[in-house]
Homo-oligomer: A and B are copies of this chain.
Amino acid sequence: MTRTDGRTPEQLRAWSITPNYLKHPAGSVLISCGNTRVICAATLEDKVPQWMKNQKVSGGWITSEYGMLPSATGERVKREASAGKQSGRTVEIQRLIGRSLRMACDLELLGERTCLIDCDVIDADGGTRCASISGGATALAIACRKNNIPAFKELVAAVSVGVVNGVPMLDLCFEEDSAAEVDMNVVMTSSGKLIEVQGTAEDKPFSRATLNELLDLAEHGLKQIFDMQRTILEQF
């Protein structure tokens, strides 16, 4: 069985990472996976959130904000800044990115710093949260290396998997995602441990066996994404 864009079920889309995409932030990349493109920028600030001070938590913090250009999608979406609030989807995604990226660093070694990862989607064709995590981790690693901060522990990447027309598939594009019965995002460390598993029955509940097939596919794809990230980081 082949897919709408000719891939086999276990095949990634074309992924690429362009480092130093922006002029100002400490680290930045443009990450593409198929037609999805996300600008990821890591900004370092010499302060920590108020709640850390209040609760006397030592070390630093990593957090993320996610946005989408209004014209990134087939049908233009309302600009959240003019709507006056972020959608529930946006809030959910940026919380996921933040949690995932905190696993990439030793927060104690980050020192009294906050690293804010902005992920802004320029073109959306499915998988924007996974691209944001994979690109954001790369921008974070670059920011740490450029500033000689020894906090970075290991790479983090994410990929989507799902069941479409009964077939488990890797790295869904928007069209596949819209038709998926089960949709799952898997976030891993480069040493092969799970950070986050979010599997959702979109249309019908799924078995433990299906869950395992999807996890296998995700591991297969993530290995290739880690290789790409490593190649980029060699330059820094």
Contact = CB atoms under 8 A, between A and B. Distances in A.
A159 interface: no
B39 A103 contact: no
Interface string A8-51: 00000000000000111100100000010001010101000000
Contacts of A71: 22, 24-25, 28, 41, 43, 118
A194 B205 contact: yes
Contacts of A206: 193-194
Interface in A177-195: 188-189, 191, 193-195
Interface string A153-193: 00000000000000000000000000000000000110101
Nearest to A182: B194
B69 A41 contact: yes
B215 A194 contact: no
Contacts of A105: none
Contacts of A191: 205
A73 B197 CA distance: 28
A193 B181 CA distance: 13
- Mostly, the A contact residues are mixed
Contacts of A198: 196-199
Contact of A201 (B41, B74, B92, B195): B195
A69 B118 contact: yes
A206 B22 CA distance: 34
Given A24-B73, A84-B84, A88-B91, 9 more contacts: A23-B125, A24-B72, A24-B123, A76-B118, A79-B118, A85-B85, A193-B201, A194-B199, A196-B201
30 contacts: A22-B122, A23-B35, A24-B71, A24-B73, A24-B74, A25-B71, A28-B71, A41-B71, A45-B76, A65-B70, A65-B79, A65-B82, A67-B79, A67-B81, A70-B118, A71-B118, A76-B116, A76-B118, A81-B83, A82-B86, A85-B85, A88-B95, A103-B201, A188-B205, A193-B207, A194-B201, A194-B205, A194-B208, A194-B211, A195-B200
Interface of A: 22-25, 28, 35, 39, 41, 43, 45, 65, 67, 69-74, 76, 79-86, 88-92, 94-95, 99, 103, 116, 118, 120, 122-123, 125, 188-189, 191, 193-201, 204-208, 211, 215
